[in-house]
Amino acid sequence: MKTIPGFEHKVASHCETGTLKNLVSFAGMEISEPMVFGLGSGPMFIYLFFAKGPSTLPLIGLRNRPGNVFKFVGKLCGIDFRYEKFCRSRDALARAHHWIDQGIPVGISVDMFYMKYLPEFLRVHAPSHFIVLLGRDEEGYAVSDPYHVDIGHLRREDLEAAMDTHAPLARDNFLITVRGVPARVDWKRAAKKAMNKTVNVMLMPPGVRHLFPFLGIQGMKLYARKVLQWPDKYQGHVLREGILFNAVGFEDQGTGGGAFRLMYGAFLQEVASLFGSSELEAMAESMIEHGQDWRRLSRKLIEIGKEIPLADGEYPGWLRENGDQMNADLRQVSDRFLEKAAFEERFFKDLSGVVSRLD
Amino acid sequence: MIVREKGEQYDGSHRVVYYTTDDSGKCVPEHVKSEFDEQIASYYELRVAELARLQDSLLKGEISPIGFFVQYCNMTVQDTAARVRTSPGKVRKHMTPKGFETVKVGTLLRYARVFDIAVGDFFQFTHLAGDLPATVQRFHDRLIARITVGIDTRGDQAK
**What is the predicted pLDDT for the residue at A50?**
77
Q: Which residues of chain A have a CB within 8 Å of the CB of B31?
A: 11, 149
Q: Which residue has the higher pLDDT, A277 or A313?
A: A277
Q: Which residues of chain A have a CB within 8 Å of the CB of B74?
A: 54-56, 124-125
From A100's Cα to the closest Cα of chain B, the distance in A is 24
Asked if B78 and A240 come within 8 Å (Cβ–Cβ), the reply is no
pLDDT tens figures, A11-39: 998 899 999 999 999 999 999 999 999 99
**Average pLDDT of span A228-257:** 79
Q: Is A159 on the interface with B (CB under 8 A)?
A: no
Asked if B15 and A149 come within 8 Å (Cβ–Cβ), the reply is yes
Asked whether A224 and A47 are in contact (CB, 8 A), the reply is no
Asked whether A47 and A199 are in contact (CB, 8 A), the reply is no
Instruction: Select the residue of A119, A125, A292 nearest B75 (Cβ to Cβ).
Output: A125
Nearest residue in B to A123, CA atom: B73
* Residues paired with residue A46 on neighbouring β-strands, in sequence order: A61, A215
The DSSP bridge pattern shows strands A174-180 and B134-139 to be unpaired
Asked whether A151 and A110 are in contact (CB, 8 A), the reply is no
Ranked by mean pLDDT, the top range of A136-140, B43-47, B146-150 is A136-140
Asked whether A119 and B10 are in contact (CB, 8 A), the reply is yes
Is the confidence at residue B154, as pLDDT, over 70? no
Q: Is B56 on the interface with A (CB under 8 A)?
A: no
Q: Is A288 on the interface with B (CB under 8 A)?
A: yes
Asked if A161 and B85 come within 8 Å (Cβ–Cβ), the reply is no
**Average pLDDT of span A225-232:** 93
Backbone angles phi, psi at A109, to 5 degrees: -100, 125
Q: Which of residues 130-149 of A touch B (CB under 8 A)?
A: 139, 146-147, 149
From B16's Cα to the closest Cα of chain A, the distance in A is 7
Tell which of B19, B24, B157 to mutate to test the A interface (max A CBs under 10 Å): B19
Short-list A255, A230, A229, A258, CA closest to A243: A230
From A161's Cα to the closest Cα of chain B, the distance in A is 7
Short-list B80, B60, B157, CA closest to A166: B80
**What is the predicted pLDDT for the residue at A255?**
47
**What is the predicted pLDDT for the residue at B157?**
46
Q: Which of residues 91-120 of B touch A (CB under 8 A)?
A: 113, 116
Residue B104 burial by Cβ neighbours in a 10 Å radius (0-12, 13-18, 19+): exposed
Is the confidence at residue B48, as pLDDT, over 80? yes
Q: Is A302 on the interface with B (CB under 8 A)?
A: yes
From B72's Cα to the closest Cα of chain A, the distance in A is 11
| B43 — pLDDT class (breaks 50, 70, 90) | confident
| Residue A305 CB coordination number (10 Å) | 21
* CA A284-A182-A36 angle, 5° bins: 30
Asked if A121 and B10 come within 8 Å (Cβ–Cβ), the reply is yes
pLDDT tens figures, A34-53: 999 999 988 888 888 877 76
Task: Give the span between the Cα atoms of B85 and B133, in whole angstroms.
Answer: 36
Short-list A127, A17, A27, CA closest to A70: A17
| B145 — pLDDT class (breaks 50, 70, 90) | very high
Task: Give the span between the Cα atoms of A66 and A53, in whole angstroms.
Answer: 16
Asked if A120 and B47 come within 8 Å (Cβ–Cβ), the reply is yes
Q: What is the mean pLDDT of chain B?
A: 87
**What is the predicted pLDDT for the residue at A72?**
96
pLDDT tens figures, A194-210: 999 999 988 888 888 88
Asked if A167 and B116 come within 8 Å (Cβ–Cβ), the reply is no
CA atoms within 13 A on the CB side of A29: 24
Backbone angles phi, psi at B141, to 5 degrees: 50, 50
**What is the predicted pLDDT for the residue at B99?**
97
Backbone angles phi, psi at A26, to 5 degrees: -60, -35
**What is the predicted pLDDT for the residue at B155?**
55
| Enclosing H/E stretch for A48 | strand A43-52
Chain centre distance of CA B115: 7
Instruction: Select the residue of A52, A147, A310 nearest B49 (Cβ to Cβ).
Output: A310
Q: Which of residues 3-42 of B touch A (CB under 8 A)?
A: 8, 10, 13-21, 25-29, 31, 34-36, 39-40, 42
**Average pLDDT of span B7-35:** 84
**Average pLDDT of span A256-260:** 65
**What is the predicted pLDDT for the residue at B61?**
96
Angle between the A278-307 and A315-357 helix axes, to the nearest 10 degrees? 170
Burial B87-96 (b: 16+ CB within 10 A, else e): eeebbbbbbe
